[in-house]
Every structure is written in C-alpha cells, then in structure tokens.
C-alpha cells in the first residue's frame, strides 16, 4: 500500500507541483497499522492541501486519510515584508556566494515562509518566485499604493531639488509615489527619499492599456537596455538575463510576467508566426526544456539579453548563431 501511495504522490507532484521555484510540495506518507494514510511534511498553501486530499479521495476512495500533520507554509498570518533597498536578490541557498536566482526592487512584497539566521525563504508576491533572500534587506515600510514608476533605466536621487547632492539611485521599474513637486523635480518614496527629475517618471494612469500602443511600449522599454551586460539572475540596468529582460520590459509597461524563461510559456497564450511586437519568443530543445527568451520587435527580429553577445542586443532569430534552429514557442500576453 505504501508503495502505491508514494507512486501516486509522485504522479501528483509531477503534474500539479512540478515547479519548485513557484511551489512547495514536500510530502511524506506513512501508513499506520490500521491502514490509515498519514501525510507529513509541508505544502505552500491551504489550497494545495485540498488538492492533495481530493486527489487521493478520487484515486483511493476507500482509504482513510489524515492530513493534520501537514504544515502550511503560507497562511493569512504569514508576515509580508517589503524590500527596503533599491535592489535586493534571491539566491539558491542561504548565501550571497550561491547562485543568483532573481532580483527585487524597493517595495516589492515578500512573504516570509521560513527564517534561518540572517536569511529568509521568501515568496515574491508579484510573480510567486520562491528562494532565499537576505533578511536585513526586508522590513515593514510605510507603503502607499504606487501612482508612478521610474521609466528611465535609472535616475539619480538628490537630497534637494537643486541637484547639488546625489544621495541615491532610483532604478527603472521602481514603483513609487510623488510626495511633492517643484519645477521639473519630484520628491519620491524610495530607499532614500529624495528628488528625481520628473522626466524619469511615468504615471500608471498614463500607460496605454491595450493594443498596439502597449505592445510598442514593451518593445521600447526593452530597447532602453541595449548594451546592458548579461547577468544571470539579473533584472535591472545593472545587468540582466534573458527572462529578466522580458519581465522588466513588461513591468515597465504596468504588466507582470513570470520570472524564468520556461515559466513564461503559457500554452493558452501561444501564437504562431508572424509575431507581433511584444510577443515573447522562446527557445530551447523542446517545450519541456525552454532555456532562453526574447521579445519580438515584429516578426523574427527580436531583442534579447544574450550570453553569447554578453548583453542586450537585437538579432534575427532565424539567422543568429545562438538562436538559429532553437525556436520552440511564442506567447502573446497583449
């Protein structure tokens, strides 16, 4: 009986919980002497516990199930902290020396799933990404619903509107509010509250909401990072990877995507050529092994952060040596 339960658990994990960076499904079964199946371990949310319960109720309708010992990692009581630096990072393990997985901007909300000394197993509440992040770069901050975002790749933050003293740097993609205005300068909320040029900001209310204008905005945002160096796990003007460029260009347009290239494939949104500007063009060995992402500028002309070229550049996906013959799918978010 136990072997059958383990096989069913594996089947469920491979179908419903097969992305370890977006979910937690660490379930251990035990069978009591009375034939009751006891599930221990942890799942991410209460809904995952219900999925497990319904799956076994259907596949083993006569079995007695006990899920009381399952730990739910994120509940209504789970602390939600926000990034308190202009940029923070998530890592594979509890160390800055381990693989950089992704980066977060000031104010991005992080659910604290577990703590280990100076590190937090966090879940980015914007894209669902789960990994380890430095605890001291998170806190409760005085957060207001953003009205603007920094739409320049980066902008100097000054202590006063006369621009005499630079005290920080607001990165493109920062969500913020204007606290005060004076001439061509605006006081904004950031890790260092200070003054930036208004031209570096765009109001969310002024962003296009659909159609060609929004697709073109995604492309124009990506084009702002031409020449920015490739950085695995990066998603800012400081350095960016392929899927990070996709996520950043869409974030700058007021839209949210998943983080990694294979996550950005959504079957229901897949499209065939000819591609529209803003379509996300994906590459790899197969749909199960997507390893690269780009943004179509129209047709097969794409912009991407290329490890081969070590940065953000425009290429023809049909002829570029690093892309030729590796196309697997494209998706249309707009």
Q: What is the largest CA-CA distance in the chain?
A: 77
Given a contact cutoff of 8 angstroms between Cβ atoms, the answer to whether 47 and 62 are in contact is no
**Residue 53 phi, psi (nearest 5):** -60, -50
Task: Show contacts of 305-308: CB within 8 Å, 24+ apart.
Answer: 305/225, 305/228, 305/230, 305/240, 305/241, 305/242, 305/244, 305/245, 306/230, 306/242, 307/230, 307/232, 307/241, 307/242
Domains, the chain, ranges and CATH? 2-72 (3.30.1340), 88-137 (2.30.30), 148-204 (2.30.30.40), 207-331 (3.90.1720.10)
What pLDDT is recorded for position 49?
97
188-223 pLDDT, tens per residue? Answer: 999 999 999 999 999 999 999 999 999 999 999 999
Q: What is the pLDDT, as a whole number, of residue 264?
A: 98
The whole-number pLDDT of residue 33 equals 79
Joined together, the tokens standing for residue 143 give: 């957060």
Q: Which two tokens stand for residue 103?
A: 């980066």
Task: List per-block mean pLDDT (blocks of 10 residues) for the chain, which spans 334 residues.
Answer: 94 96 97 91 98 96 95 98 98 98 98 98 98 98 96 98 97 98 97 97 97 98 98 98 98 98 98 98 97 98 97 98 97 98
The DSSP line for 248-310 is HHHHTTT----SSTTTT--GGGB--SSPPTT-EEEEESSGGGEEEEEEEEETTEEEEEETTTT
User: Which DSSP state fits 234?
Assistant: -
**Half-sphere exposure of residue 223: CA atoms within 13 angstroms, side-chain side:** 12
**Residues in the chain, total:** 334
Q: Which residues of 264-276 are buried (b: 16+ CB within 10 A; e: fewer)?
A: bbeeeeeeeeebb
What gap in Å lies between CA 243 and CA 247, rounded to an integer? 6
Q: What is the predicted pLDDT for the residue at 322?
A: 96
CA torsion, ordered 306, 200, 250, 272, to nearest 10 deg: -70
Are 170 and 190 within 8 A, CB to CB? yes
Q: What's the confidence (pLDDT) of residue 1?
A: 85
């Amino acid at each position: 009986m136990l072997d059958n339960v383990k096989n069913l658990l594996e089947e469920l994990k491979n179908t419903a919980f097969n992305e370890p960076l977006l979910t937690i499904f660490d379930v251990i079964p035990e069978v009591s002497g009375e034939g009751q199946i006891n599930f221990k371990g942890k799942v991410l949310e209460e809904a995952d516990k219900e999925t497990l319960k319904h799956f076994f109720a259907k596949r083993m309708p006569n079995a007695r199930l006990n899920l009381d010992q399952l730990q739910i990692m994120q509940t209504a009581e789970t602390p939600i902290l926000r990034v308190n630096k202009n940029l923070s990072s998530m890592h594979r393990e509890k160390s800055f020396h381990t693989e950089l997985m992704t980066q977060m901007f000031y104010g991005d909300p992080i659910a604290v799933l577990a703590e280990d000394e100076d590190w937090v197993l966090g879940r980015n509440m914007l894209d669902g990404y789960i990994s380890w992040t430095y605890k001291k770069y998170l806190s409760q901050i005085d957060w207001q619903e953003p009205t603007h975002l920094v739409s320049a790749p980066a902008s100097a933050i000054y202590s006063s509107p006369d621009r005499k003293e630079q005290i920080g740097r607001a990165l493109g993609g920062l969500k913020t509010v204007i606290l005060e205005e004076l001439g061509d300068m605006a006081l904004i909320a950031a890790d260092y509250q200070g003054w930036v040029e208004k031209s570096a900001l765009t109001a969310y209310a002024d962003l296009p909401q659909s159609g060609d204008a929004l697709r073109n905005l995604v492309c124009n945002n990506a084009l702002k990072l031409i020449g920015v160096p490739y950085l695995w796990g990066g998603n800012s003007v400081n350095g960016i990877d392929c899927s990070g460029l996709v996520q950043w260009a869409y974030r700058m347009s007021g839209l949210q995507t998943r983080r990694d290239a294979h996550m950005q494939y959504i079957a229901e949104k897949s499209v065939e050529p000819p591609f529209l500007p803003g379509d996300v063009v994906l590459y790899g060995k197969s749909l199960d092994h997507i390893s690269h992402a780009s943004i179509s500028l129209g047709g097969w002309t794409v912009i991407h952060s290329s490890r081969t070229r070590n940065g953000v550049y425009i290429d023809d996906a049909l002829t570029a040596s690093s892309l030729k013959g590796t196309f697997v799918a494209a998706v249309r978010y707009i």
